[in-house]
Structure 1
């Protein structure tokens, strides 16, 4: 069931991107390059994809929302698996799994179109001032 509005998803992408980018410093694992850049890279990817997505908070509008959500799903799965795939699970794994699971859930529960486009055509017309 898709219940998260695209606007909320977009704002969350920007916030999560900032959190992901800064998490290695806050959580103290910048000494492990793989663990560090997996989260920081995912954060940068979230921000860039949000900027390029065709939704209320995107700037460029090149990526359709369904593709954006698919990208979020892939990033989430890779984040969850990254500690074991990249060999740093003995050092840190919980932030990657938590943020990855968050991305997976967000990708599966966000609407694929803004609410305005889900309304009937009669509801979309607004009187001109």
Structure 2
């Protein structure tokens, strides 16, 4: 199982990777691939900020809802190169990050093991 603290770190790292991937991995010439990556990155960032977990700042969304949304977002990322017809330009980053999101959503502890809210 993935700890909630580790999941929080993974969320913020994933958000940054998704937001900057089009330029770092040189697929910014594909408007569709860029929009999916950057848009998904901001969704992950906002979801992380708003989740009731060790990495949350606003804490309005339950961890269970967050993890369910991770799975759905991961499936969307995996399917997006085919849904938006950019598979011939780029698909590996979306496939890899989407798969990580699905696995993180399925294998992260849903309940906190302590009352602490720090990033220990």
Alignment TM-score, normalising by the size of structure 1: 0.87
Shift of 1:37: 1.1
Aligned residue number for residue 84 of structure 1: 82
Aligned residue number for residue 43 of structure 1: 41
RMSD: 1.2
Structure showing greater Rg: 1
Aligned residue number for residue 111 of structure 2: 113
Paired residue total: 116
Q: Secondary structure at the match of 1:116?
A: coil
Extract unaligned runs of 5+ from structure 1: 118-123, 125-129
| Distance in 1 between residues matched to 2:54 and 2:98, nearest whole Å | 24
Structure 1 segments (4+ residues) deviating >3 Å: none
Residue 16 of structure 2 is aligned to residue 9 of structure 1:
no
| Distance in 2 between residues matched to 1:47 and 1:114, nearest whole Å | 20
Shift of 1:68: 0.2
Alignment TM-score, normalising by the size of structure 2: 0.93
